[in-house]
């Protein structure tokens, strides 16, 4: 489990670019209104990795449907955006709050986008062991606190 907040922006970028989340399929979303958290579950079947993203202190979520072609479940790209992008996005955050939030952008094979703004994200990565049946273990990685 790795926890990132705005102060670990560069570590989160590094983690995402080195991870196997690209080409993973989004399995489900869970939103917990009481705690203001969004949970995104994704699996990369080729690299045998499961991901759980816990977006805490959620500020906003925006789904943009551009369904042009291909899978609306498969992640083409997951990036953490520079907060100056928030001024150009359809997500409104007061200028004096930009430095408090992470802005992550899921781009799907279909052209659809999922924009998520939250104070922090916890990423759990599980790797299925070869020949171990359905057993999973949590593999730590990245450079964030956790």
Task: Give residue 95's pLDDT.
Answer: 53
Task: Give residue 84's pLDDT.
Answer: 55
Q: What is the pTM of this model?
A: 0.79
Cα–Cα distance, 40 to 77 (Å, whole number): 15
Identify the CA nearest to 1 among candidates 116, 126, 88, 113.
126
> Mean pLDDT, to the nearest integer, of 71-87?
78
Between residues 59 and 92, the one the model is more confident about: 59
> Mean pLDDT, to the nearest integer, of 101-126?
93
Task: Give residue 143's pLDDT.
Answer: 39
Provide Rg for the chain, Cα atoms: 15
Between residues 83 and 87, the one the model is more confident about: 83
Identify the CA nearest to 56 among candidates 82, 81, 31, 80.
31
Domain boundaries, the chain: 2-130
Q: CB–CB of 143/15 below 8 Å?
A: yes
Identify the CA nearest to 83 among candidates 62, 94, 98, 97.
98
């Amino acid at each position: 489990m790795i926890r990132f907040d705005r102060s670990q922006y560069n570590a989160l970028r590094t983690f995402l670019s080195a991870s196997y989340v690209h080409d993973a399929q989004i399995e489900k979303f869970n939103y917990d209104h009481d705690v203001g958290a969004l949970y995104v579950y994704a699996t990369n079947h080729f690299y045998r990795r499961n991901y759980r993203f816990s977006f805490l202190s959620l500020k906003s979520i925006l789904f943009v449907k551009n369904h042009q072609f291909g899978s609306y479940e498969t992640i083409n790209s997951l990036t953490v955006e520079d907060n100056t992008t928030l001024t150009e996005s359809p997500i409104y955050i007061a200028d004096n709050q930009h430095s408090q939030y992470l802005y992550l952008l899921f781009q799907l094979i279909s052209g659809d986008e999922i924009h998520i703004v939250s104070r922090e994200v916890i990423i759990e990565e599980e790797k299925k062991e070869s020949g171990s049946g359905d057993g999973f273990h949590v593999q730590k990685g990245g450079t964030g606190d956790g």
